[in-house]
Structure 1
Amino acid sequence: MRHLLAAAAGLAVLAASACSAPTPPRSATPSATPTGPATLPAPTGAHPVGTTALHLKDTSRPDPWNLDARARELKVTLWYPAEQRGGQRDGQRAPYMTPKESELLLKGGRITGVPDDTLSRTRTNAVKDAEPTGRELPLVVLSPGFTKPVNALTSLAEDLASRGYVVAGIDHTYESYATTLADGRVAECLACDSDADPGFGAGVVAGRAADVSFVLDQLPSAWDGAGRIDRSRIAMVGQSIGGAGAMAAMVKDPRVRAGIDMDGTTYARIPKGGFSRPFMFIGSPQHVPGGGDNSWERDWKLLTGWKRWIVLTGADHQSFTDIPLLAGALGIKPAYGLLPAARAAELTRTYVAAFLDQHLRSRRQPLLDKPSSRYPEVGFCPAACGRS
């Protein structure tokens, strides 16, 4: 079971695995002197990055977690190619999260010994509300792991935006330790009270699929820059139960043309006749055949179109998120033998972008065809990978 600021990476974890119902996080006390605010790695694409937040309300359904809410409220963070770099000084970079969100995330992860606002001081690379640029841009929906906000995927989101994608990151309200709503209220994790219930994972991914369809419906009218999006080129990427949600969303909504599951056990039922849209699994060694989670083996047989199953040697459940990059700021030493944070971010960015370039931009990516000497940590399953 995974915990929210990852113990397996020496980070007492901020989130639970999608492998099964989450368990309460362990206490974690920093084991080294904090390094000061974390800085996310610079994006690798040609474009400067802008970001903005939308607050959407789905009045067609009640909230699945808050029985007092007659509508489902969602926060959506957009990252996109921006017009220019002018003004991208430190004080004008978008905040990683608010001090209150940082406080609640650290509390939820039982991280002590650092200021409550530590995560809010993380340095990003995007400019808040910068003018978007470009036309016919592909859209990528991002979904985070259970108890984590979509902020935990910021490094990946910024990189994709710099490469010319519009990224819509969804905060699934009441499934994270902290989500700031339109009126300033901070919604906490009500779903955490139900995580031991039978069928919890299947219920979460069904709700996330509904969230995704609603966001796709609303985006054209909710964002002034939405006219720059090519709505025939949409993919979804998720981590942990967000990755399981990517599969669920694709089964439910044909607008999602391709999907990636980053280290998440799957729950959605795939039609017995097979599922032909492109899909990629990318994960830690627990996802090799016989490695402890058989959901990928089960679903692999039903994927009848383009598909890949990739495992990163030395990766942990949180290696596909920002969390390892935050270890120094939290004063936590990564565990010996795990994939270094910067390398994990590089591999995640590289293979996710290659998949999206191939399936949303029709640019063939030989990197996805076989192992590469540049990335020896990457194994192709089910045949050419092993436990490590």
Structure 2
Amino acid sequence: MKLACAALAVTVGLLAPAPARAADTPQLARPTGPHPELVRPTGHQPVGTAAIHLTDTSRPDPWVPGSAARELMVTVWYPAAGPGGRRARYMSPRESELYLAGKRITDLPADTLSRVRTYAYTDARPAGRAHSLPLVVLSPGYTQPRGTLTGLAEDLASHGYVVAGIDHTHETYAVTFPGGRIATCAACELTEDDAFFRKLYAGRAADVSFVLDRLTGPKPAWRGSSLIDASRIAMSGHSAGGASAIAAMAGDPRIDAGIDMDGTTRGIVPSGGLSRPFLFLGTQAEHSPGGRDVSWDDDWKRLTGWRRWIVVAGAVHGSFTDLTLLADQLGIDLGATITGTRSLELTRRYNRAFFDRHLRHRPQPLLDRASPRYPEVIIAAR
């Protein structure tokens, strides 16, 4: 009974946008190995990574009354001059412990997620010509840390993108700042209604704009910032992070294109429309046209530029992150009919196709018609 309860907690609290149905209740099996791992990036360039602490003194933290500033932790993934050095940690042991406790997952060792093998090298020397690399910002789902999009970030970096993943402080269970100080999930104590999520989207949009200021402005926060081409910036996010891509684009014209991966939008596309390229990428069960989440149907009508609505058969909510890949390796059945390895491949391939098309202006037939290589993927509207 304890194992089944833990598995249900994974589906409802970790991955699913709505409560799981009884028929979807997963079963927890014996872990397949002590060291879960991501999938090797598909590009030719080694990947470096660096963690950056940023403080925005122009605004208080939206979740902590009386705060003087908004603090953020950001991970930058980038093409590196060569492999070598120390592999980046997926999470610290304490972050893993607090995350699993927050999700009420008690049947895995507390440090499980700190043992995930990644493919990026900490503080490796950045590679590239000045102002030559497009920038992609990643925003995770509500209660999820930035690390859950590592598999996507590493792959984009291996293909020549700079990628900035943001931890939106107090919206996940553990954000670790220099010196070991940890911010926990203050937002988790509040009622999750439409007003709550609109506040969250607005706060994340402000976070993104501040990160862009610090990565591309006159006093850059990262030593490789001179490599970034500030005229080519895009954003992708999962769940609440995907909806926040719309809010960020509406408020910041520097963001040229965006992707919402399975995130309910709640009518946040401006009434005057959004004319820059946008991609909806979601589960077939939840986000098909006319499906259970009708917010995409409403907001689709106000996307006035290049647009695609793509759904993936057999995917679940977490399939667009590392979580289903890791769940497979830990023996957790989340109810998806495609493997975590396959879903990560699809997530990587369609994100990169979109960015290659709109930031590098390379034709991408993958976004225009069905591909026999990816029969699970359906172009639902265009």
Q: Same fold (TM over 0.5)?
A: yes
TM-score (norm 1): 0.90
Specify whether residues 13 and 37 from structure 1 end up closer, same or farther in structure 2 by C-alpha distance, changes over 3 A only.
farther
Q: Percent identity?
A: 57
Look up the match of 1:386: none
Q: What amino acid maps onto 1:299 in structure 2?
A: D
Q: What amino acid maps onto 1:340 in structure 2?
A: T
Q: Within the alignment, does 1:370 sit opposite 2:379 as a pair?
A: no
State the alpha-carbon separation in 1 of the partners of residues 375 and 243 from structure 2: 26
Q: What amino acid maps onto 2:191 in structure 1?
A: D
Is 1:146–1:242's contact at 8 Å kept on the other side of the alignment? yes
Q: Structure 2: where are the runs of 5+ without partners?
A: 20-24
The 5 Å alignment of 1:1-388 reads 11-12=10-11, 15=14, 30-85=28-83, 87=84, 92-135=86-129, 136-220=132-216, 221-267=220-266, 269-285=268-284, 286-335=286-335, 338-382=337-381
State the alpha-carbon separation in 2 of the partners of residues 142 and 109 from structure 1: 22
Secondary structure class of the residue paired with 1:192: helix
State the alpha-carbon separation in 1 of the partners of residues 277 and 55 from structure 2: 31
State the alpha-carbon separation in 1 of the partners of residues 17 and 253 from structure 2: 24
Q: What amino acid maps onto 1:71 in structure 2?
A: A
C-alpha offsets along residues 319-364 of structure 1, whole Å, 9 cap, x if unaligned?
A: 00000111145342343x5221111000000000000000000101
Is 1:38–1:328's contact at 8 Å kept on the other side of the alignment? no
Bigger RCO of structures 1 and 2 (CA < 8 A, at least 6 apart):
1
Secondary structure class of the residue paired with 1:376: coil
Specify whether residues 371 and 6 from structure 1 end up closer, same or farther in structure 2 by C-alpha distance, changes over 3 A only.
farther
Deviates more, 1:325-334 or 1:159-168: 325-334
Is 1:17–1:146's contact at 8 Å kept on the other side of the alignment? no
Q: What amino acid maps onto 2:323 in structure 1?
A: I
Q: What CA RMSD, in Å, does the superposition of the two structures yield over aligned residues?
A: 2.2
Q: Structure 1: where are the runs of 5+ without partners?
A: 21-26, 384-388
Secondary structure class of the residue paired with 2:224: helix
Is 1:14–1:105's contact at 8 Å kept on the other side of the alignment? no
State the alpha-carbon separation in 1 of the partners of residues 272 and 328 from structure 2: 48
State the alpha-carbon separation in 2 of the partners of residues 288 and 183 from structure 1: 45
Q: What amino acid maps onto 1:217 in structure 2?
A: D
Secondary structure class of the residue paired with 1:222: coil
TM-score (norm 2): 0.91
* Cα drift, residue 31 of structure 1: 3.1
Specify whether residues 6 and 84 from structure 1 end up closer, same or farther in structure 2 by C-alpha distance, changes over 3 A only.
farther
Is 1:118–1:330's contact at 8 Å kept on the other side of the alignment? no
Specify whether residues 198 and 313 from structure 1 end up closer, same or farther in structure 2 by C-alpha distance, changes over 3 A only.
closer
